Amino acid sequence: TGFSKNIMLGKNINIYDSCKFEFSEASTIHIGSNIIFSYGVIVSCRHSLQIGDNVQIGEYTSIRDATHNYKGENPIIMKNEDLIGEVIIGNNVWIGRNCLIGPGSVIEDGVVIGANSIVKGHLEKDCIYAGSPLRKIVGWNVVQHTY
């Protein structure tokens, strides 16, 4: 439908092979500095996406701010309005390989997400999460790294 005029990018953003980015004219995207989008990452933003600084996103992870509405009024799912929710990823976050970050997710600073996890909801600062369904494994103190 067009390219967003609301894109802000920081410095030192590394995009590996086979990544895909889907934006609309209405998208608002803020991506910080020192970011790694590893191989095959998909980012789909119809409304709003924020990624802080010092974030590593593992191979084949999908970050999406919209999904199908299975509870809509129309029995044909694809004819229902999609569910849309801003995705916010804080600073110093490590997202493991093959994760799904769904609409409305908030990932606070210092979070580590284990490989193959499905994220929906609010993840508390300085904790490790993993699984499907996602669960908090442990809280921890993050050592601040400078790049």
Contacts 24+ apart (CB under 8 A), 43-48: 43/19, 45/4, 45/21, 45/87, 46/82, 46/84, 47/84, 47/85, 47/86, 48/86, 48/87
- CA pair distance 85, 98, nearest whole angstrom: 21
Bridge pairing between strands 66-67 and 94-95: unpaired
Asked if 47 is an active-site residue, the reply is no
Residue from 47, 68, 122, 145 carrying the catalytic annotation: 68
List active site positions. Answer: 68
